[in-house]
Structure 1
């Protein structure tokens, strides 16, 4: 029996029409009768080898752990033939096997590789009828045309939902988003809805986005099961009032720290020094690096935060922004006691020529050009990025160093902590014509099949499946051997989605980590296991009133901090100018700013 699904304005409803097939899907109000019918028909179809099941003969290779190679695995009203024996460990799949993986919802070959099992509810697919969703998302230079992205084309075929992606020109995302919101002409779905003034929750409160609380369990069973399978995932995807407002990127684990100090191995060799740890050791190393030929040894600027990166300043407890103090209360990093000491250090390093002179203005391309030159010895960046630019493209080996500490014996620390919230998020707007279809399309990303496709791309050309049921990239994968010669930093977007509202498996699916010879994952794991993250603030949500005021104060404080700290480090202002900065910050409403964050933290802790 097969089923014909009809999308209505109220819900997904199912009508069924009968025809002979071995691929069985049974659901009836009388459970006992259903079970008997299911067994009877399954036996008949097996004996008669009646199509649909792709049944093997008695000599077929049996999947380890099973007693019958023709066993079917039932997934929420959809029965699949177990094909794990054909797919797992197969390094040269046939076209028929490739089609079975890529063109069907069969996921029996995928293993359960995490502490919690990824859901496999496909009862909504394929949606019948002409369903087309408009989805707005920011542009990505590595994806020329999202409407022709290979993964999204696969998702469209399996879900039966067509999508029209709307992407503004690169660099015009902010203006395009503002214009879209102000016009009142909204698409069905918005990727990165937090761009709304005041954030996602403000968008819901203002009537731009839908509150999905009462719809999630029914229309997004995979997302619901996955977010509820772990307390951290549950807590970070719900508001203080218990509302569910969107689909968040949520991982199977807390991802490794991704940003830190990276040193060229040749710089260590030329200076003859060990990897530095304390601020004094770093000063000695950078000074020596300059003496041996590195004109601007530390690339201090960063497109991730320019002056503030939480690396050097963290040694002084002068964190980038908010953090948790020793009592678990919210504090503001730039206002900490050792701020002047930090600024004096950086002013001295800048004066001595230890920093790149364009640190305050350099964009990403300028930084990478400097990185591969002979001027730079140290980058403050991601080892994934630098494995691509240094090792893969330029043959430059490097090592990772822990965040600096002030005194020998101090514990290296960072305010970065992944709370299993990762990737990005999506919201459904109040102008969505078909809310159920929009939720079904987003929910697919949280199914086991969606997890495979979005993280690892197409089976055969991009990934294969190992003996345990885990996807992996073979050496001849399009990820590493792109027919058009693109580097991995581009193909990780071209053949898969690197950031998306989905179950993101960064440790296994990031090709910059998993590439043969790559040690970026080892560096990130080393950082994560050896740095204190107790001061990290979890994802907070603000009330409508708080959000507006927090944004106003935050922008003013950020601008103030940027101006004062940059001028002090560049020597345009004396270090004592910090005292004036702090008074201005307090007069702007620093205490109010902190009280807003503390109230949000208190509510978060009670979720």
Structure 2
């Protein structure tokens, strides 16, 4: 009898023993009636801890697995080869799988141009096999997500699960309060044991996944750690070489550097626009304390960045830089493709973007080396700062709607993402063609991985979506599983780590939530203030308005209800601190 047959025989024998035990303990002789709901929904109420043969010796450190070994990893829930690689152990409760019965869930999610057909995504097809739950993904055309979501909500016809439920008017919590999404507080412990264990294994994860009043609304992407700062200033190494200058640290040094870049041939050296926020990146404006939006001041109170004392100094600087051509001319309107075209041109020396993105566009595709710079300061020796801080909340989140046909199966499908097997599969993709496992039980991408050698010739910034899930309600392991960071020779992770370790983030706002009454008012005021800020700051920077127009801007903001807006945020922060 070969090894495969032995394992199948062992599993069959164990299954017979389990079935016999369950029948003896909970079948005849049990006075409690059968649960007709469980039978109808196709979800077994019985929970039996699954055990597996330890195959770590076969898989760990194996660089040339056999097809038998590949099948055992990919086709079973056996996770014994995976190590405990974090401070907290990832849960491994597989008692709900495979879900019994013909279960089909409808899942709405925003479109992604890198995933042409989510229903045929390789990872999700594998999840379907392991959980026994078939999923029908509903994705609107790219660019039509907002309208499609609004139409879906207004129609009253909701799927079982919604990915990115915060699109609901007023936010995630408003969706629960209005009866669109389920409050899962009383169901989590029983039907999502892995998510429950993982979120409760760390105080920050617990605190950022519960509402102020202690409710559990859905499944949040939550990481093993606080992810590194992902956005900042990046300089072409050749620009430093041509100018003969060091990486600038102060605003004055940045001005000197950009002027020198112009002299050596970079027409518009700083690509300032950002598809992630256009004018407001928190980089230059942060040096003046004029943060993008709300932040926590030195007294622990919520403040609004655009209303800070040095705002006119910041606008004076930017108006001058724009006038002198130090910024790309289309900074207010350029889309991602325009920005990347500018990035590789001889006109640009500096980008404000993600080092992961620029590793792909600059280094991999165009052999352009680059370095990272800390956010600038006003005075030499000041501590660089950022309002970005990852509170172990990562990826996206998911809600189960009040119209779900099978709530328990929906919870089981989402809960799989928080098992050790789900962590491996969703972060690292298929075993064999995409990842292997090292001696410590940590998955990794070998050099011949499909991530880096796609049979269809796609670049890494596409394959990171094609062969794995980059943004999902799961245990997201960005530092190890992002192939742009993990690639041989990549230094994007080093840049992000340096930023994180050397910038003050004490002013960063945590993920606060608003009450139903607060949410609509906060959204109304926030939209008005955002529009006002965008119009005034952009026009002043372009020279269409004088810097003194800022005084009128501030008065209008105050008359709109700035103080009320801040009071709403302060109340929410106070409640968050008491969770």
TM range (shorter): over 0.9
1:21 is matched with 13
1:197 is matched with 169
2: distance between equivalents of 1:26 and 1:273?
A: 71
**Over residues 133-179 of structure 1, what are the superposed CA-to-partner deviations in whole Å (9 max), with x where a residue is unaligned?**
00000000000000000000000000000000000000000000000
1:104 is matched with 76
1:114 is matched with 86
Q: CA contact under 8 A between 1:299 and 1:355: conserved in structure 2?
A: yes
2:426 is matched with 454
Aligned equivalent of 2:356, options 368, 372, 384 = 384
1:206 is matched with 178
**Over residues 34-70 of structure 1, what are the superposed CA-to-partner deviations in whole Å (9 max), with x where a residue is unaligned?**
xxxxxxxxxxxxxxxxxxxxxxxxxxxxxxxxxxxxx
2:106 is matched with 134
Structure number with greater CO (CA < 8 Å, separation at least 6) is: 2
1:407 is matched with 379
2:138 is matched with 166
Per the TM alignment, residue 26 of structure 1 is displaced from its structure 2 partner at its CA by 4.3
| SS in structure 2 at match of 1:400 | strand
| Length, aligned pairs only | 548
Per the TM alignment, residue 19 of structure 1 is displaced from its structure 2 partner at its CA by 10
Write out aligned runs for 1:196-345 (5 A): 196-345=168-317
Deviation beyond 6 Å, 4+ runs, structure 1: 27-30
> Does residue 586 of the first structure (1) align with residue 558 of the second (2)?
yes
> Does residue 354 of the first structure (1) align with residue 330 of the second (2)?
no
1: distance between equivalents of 2:537 and 2:14?
A: 70
| SS in structure 2 at match of 1:78 | coil
- Greater per-residue helix proportion: 2
1:493 is matched with 465
Per the TM alignment, residue 410 of structure 1 is displaced from its structure 2 partner at its CA by 0.6
Per the TM alignment, residue 76 of structure 1 is displaced from its structure 2 partner at its CA by 6.0
Per the TM alignment, residue 25 of structure 1 is displaced from its structure 2 partner at its CA by 6.4
Q: CA contact under 8 A between 1:76 and 1:120: conserved in structure 2?
A: no
2: distance between equivalents of 1:457 and 1:499?
A: 13
Per the TM alignment, residue 417 of structure 1 is displaced from its structure 2 partner at its CA by 0.2
2: distance between equivalents of 1:565 and 1:28?
A: 72
| SS in structure 2 at match of 1:79 | coil
2: distance between equivalents of 1:533 and 1:254?
A: 12
2:509 is matched with 537
| SS in structure 1 at match of 2:13 | coil
In structure 2, the CA distance between the partners of 1:194 and 1:92, relative to structure 1 (3 Å rule), is same
Per the TM alignment, residue 605 of structure 1 is displaced from its structure 2 partner at its CA by 0.2
2: distance between equivalents of 1:391 and 1:592?
A: 47
1:603 is matched with 575
1: distance between equivalents of 2:376 and 2:149?
A: 39
Q: CA contact under 8 A between 1:251 and 1:422: conserved in structure 2?
A: yes
1:94 is matched with 66
Write out aligned runs for 1:550-561 (5 A): 550-561=522-533
| SS in structure 1 at match of 2:52 | strand
1:3 is matched with none
2:482 is matched with 510
**Over residues 550-576 of structure 1, what are the superposed CA-to-partner deviations in whole Å (9 max), with x where a residue is unaligned?**
000000000000000000000000000
In structure 2, the CA distance between the partners of 1:25 and 1:558, relative to structure 1 (3 Å rule), is farther
| SS in structure 1 at match of 2:320 | helix
Per the TM alignment, residue 22 of structure 1 is displaced from its structure 2 partner at its CA by 5.0
| SS in structure 2 at match of 1:133 | strand
1:430 is matched with 402
Per the TM alignment, residue 21 of structure 1 is displaced from its structure 2 partner at its CA by 1.4
Give TM-score, length-normalised by structure 2.
0.93
1: distance between equivalents of 2:441 and 2:154?
A: 47
Aligned equivalent of 1:522, options 481, 494, 505 = 494
Per the TM alignment, residue 603 of structure 1 is displaced from its structure 2 partner at its CA by 0.2
2: distance between equivalents of 1:103 and 1:236?
A: 34
Q: CA contact under 8 A between 1:25 and 1:78: conserved in structure 2?
A: no
| SS in structure 1 at match of 2:295 | strand
Aligned equivalent of 1:372, options 339, 344, 349 = 344
**Over residues 189-237 of structure 1, what are the superposed CA-to-partner deviations in whole Å (9 max), with x where a residue is unaligned?**
0000000000000000000000000000000000000000000000000
Q: CA contact under 8 A between 1:428 and 1:438: conserved in structure 2?
A: yes
Gaps of 5+ in 2: 1-9, 26-46
**Over residues 471-523 of structure 1, what are the superposed CA-to-partner deviations in whole Å (9 max), with x where a residue is unaligned?**
00000000000000000000000000000000000000000000011000000
Give TM-score, length-normalised by structure 1.
0.89
Indicate the RMSD between aligned Cα atoms, in angstroms. 1.6
Q: CA contact under 8 A between 1:24 and 1:79: conserved in structure 2?
A: no
2: distance between equivalents of 1:148 and 1:19?
A: 30
In structure 2, the CA distance between the partners of 1:331 and 1:19, relative to structure 1 (3 Å rule), is closer
**Over residues 75-120 of structure 1, what are the superposed CA-to-partner deviations in whole Å (9 max), with x where a residue is unaligned?**
9611100000000000000000000000000000000000000000
Q: CA contact under 8 A between 1:25 and 1:79: conserved in structure 2?
A: no
2: distance between equivalents of 1:494 and 1:296?
A: 35
1: distance between equivalents of 2:492 and 2:415?
A: 31
Per the TM alignment, residue 20 of structure 1 is displaced from its structure 2 partner at its CA by 5.7
2: distance between equivalents of 1:502 and 1:205?
A: 24
| SS in structure 2 at match of 1:518 | coil
Gaps of 5+ in 1: 1-17, 34-74
Aligned equivalent of 1:398, options 340, 363, 370 = 370
Aligned equivalent of 2:520, options 530, 539, 548 = 548
1: distance between equivalents of 2:245 and 2:376?
A: 16
